[in-house]
Amino acid sequence: MMGLDMANRMCYEQAKAMGLSTNYRAFVSSNRQDLVYVVYPGFRESLPVTNLRGDVMFRSWRSIFSGSGAPINARIPIYSFDGRDVLADPFWPQKIIWHGSTNRGVRLVDKHCETWRTDHVSVMGQSSNLTSGLLLGQYTRSCSNQYVVLCIETHKNP
């Protein structure tokens, strides 16, 4: 992933390339941020979390971090910026995402692939297998794996 800054930059660039708002950041915790705080404070309670087509996935950002692992509805697709369904498209053979967090969105100090900078087989990161039905499932995996990094819109422009 080449670090959190690069992951955030990739979210920004991909959104921009598709003509979307550039207010996207990586859906991961790191040594300097908890996932629960990625979205701006004024938007954590007031707006639903939707996919790129506007389908509601969670009633609010805060509701993702109740401790339940954030159950997802398999009938609501998670789209890439180019419109492909991450759960159905063969481009992502493993339906696993990196997140580096507890099920409450708090960083796991030793489970974020050294701030997403290493792919060494002996270093671990926290992930979720989306086929389990949880966005914040708790699976510890080697950082040598190439999994999906989701992007989240952190705020709306006025």
CATH number at residue 44: 3.10.100.10
11, 69, 88, 95 from 7: Cα distances, Å: 6, 23, 23, 18
Type of residue numbered 156: K
Amino acid letter for position 148:
V
Residue 103 falls within a domain, yes or no?
yes
In this structure, is residue 158 part of a structural domain? no
Q: 45 in a domain, yes or no?
A: yes
Look at residue 158 in the predicted model and tell me its pLDDT.
Answer: 67
Range of the domain at 106: 4-153
C-alpha–C-alpha distance, residues 107 and 32, integer Å: 9
Coil vs helix vs strand at 123: coil
What DSSP state is assigned to residue 152?
E
Instruction: Determine the pLDDT at residue 157.
Output: 78
* 14-53 per-position pLDDT tens digit: 999 999 999 999 999 999 999 999 999 999 999 999 999 9
- pLDDT, position 138: 98
- What is the mean pLDDT of the segment spanning 86-101? 97
Give the pLDDT of residue 53: 96
Domain count, the chain: 1
> Around 142, how many Cα atoms within 13 Å sit in the side-chain half-sphere?
6
Assess if residue 29 is contained within a domain.
Answer: yes
**C-alpha separations of 104 from 1, 14, 91 in Å:** 23, 27, 29
pLDDT number for residue 156: 84
Q: What is the pLDDT of residues 97-139, one digit of tens each?
A: 999 999 999 999 999 999 999 999 999 999 999 999 999 999 9
Q: Answer yes or no: is 14 within a domain.
A: yes
